[in-house]
Amino acid sequence: MELPCLSCGAALRVQSPATLFIVCSYCQTTMIRDQDWSVFGKMATLPPEITPLQIGTRGVYKGETFELIGRQRLQWRDGYWNEWCALFPKGRIGWLAEAQGFYMLSFPVEPAPDVPNLATIKAGALISVPGHEMFLVDDIKTATCVATEGEMPFPAPARQERLSVDASNAKGEFLSVEKIGLTQHVYLGRYLEFNDFKFTQLRQLDGW
C-alpha cells in the first residue's frame, strides 16, 4: 500500500502489514499508526557510515528471499550497530543485525523461552533453550537509538533506550534478548557471512 507523508505529501510505500512506525525518506517526519496514521515527530539524520546495506536490499535465507524495509542505528558505550528489519514472504519479520562485519539473522521466538533476569545477568551466564545447544552470554549493553529509517513494526523514535543481551553457542547460533520499556522479546537466529545472503540491490560504496 501507499501512504502519503502527512507532512510533505510524498508517497511512501508501506510493504509490511505489521508496520506501526514509518519515517518519511524525504522530510524525516515520523508517523505512527494507531487506528489511523498520525504524525509522531521528526527523525534525526543518520550519521555518516560505511555499510553495503540499504532499504531495498534483497537477500536470501534458507531459500526464502527477504527485503530490508527499515532499520535502526543503535549506539552503546563502545560502538554502533544496525538492526535491519527484514520482510520475508507471508509478512514474516526477521531482524538482520550488522556489527563490525558480523551478520546475525534472527526471528522472534513465540512463546518466549525462560531467560534469566536481565537486571542481574552477567557475561558468561548460560541460557538454555530447549532443542538448542547451551547459549553463553557474550555481552549485555544498554543501547540508544541514534536514528531510524523506513518501516518498523513498533514505535522506534530516536533516543529510545533498550537493554540488549547477546548470546551464542558452539553451533554458530545467536540468541538475543531485547527489552524496550517493559516489553521483552527473545530472538533466535544464526551468525552468517556476508556472502551467505547473496545480497542484491546493495548500496554503492565509494572506492569499493
CB-nearer residue toward another protein: 37 or 135 = 135
Residue 57, C-alpha cell as written in the block = 536490499
Integer Cα distance of 47 and 79 in angstroms: 13
CB-nearer residue toward another protein: 41 or 79 = 79
Which DSSP letter does residue 196 get?
G
Shortest distance, CB of residue 65 to another protein, whole angstroms?
A: 19
Integer Cα distance of 186 and 61 in angstroms: 20
Shortest distance, CB of residue 156 to another protein, whole angstroms?
A: 19
- Cα-Cα-Cα-Cα torsion 165, 170, 171, 175, nearest 10 degrees, comes to -10
Near another protein by CB under 8 A, which window of 4-12, 19-27, 58-66, 199-207? 199-207
User: Cα dist. 112→63, 82, 125, 145 in Å?
Assistant: 25, 23, 18, 24
Integer Cα distance of 200 and 3 in angstroms: 26
Which position among 2, 49, 62, 89 is part of the footprint of another protein (CB under 8 A)? 49
Near another protein by CB under 8 A, which window of 11-19, 28-36, 43-51, 57-65? 43-51
Per CB under 8 A, which of residues 65..84 are in contact with another protein?
75, 77-80
Task: Return left, alpha or beta for 90; rule: phi > 0 is left, psi -120 to 50 is alpha, else beta.
Answer: left
Shortest distance, CB of residue 95 to another protein, whole angstroms?
A: 16
- Return the closest-CA partner of residue 82 out of 44, 107, 49, 42: 49
CB-nearer residue toward another protein: 59 or 153 = 59
Which position among 14, 58, 194, 196 is part of the footprint of another protein (CB under 8 A)? 194
Residues that bind another protein (CB under 8 A): 47-52, 75, 77-80, 100-102, 123-124, 136, 138-139, 168-172, 174, 191, 193-195, 205-208
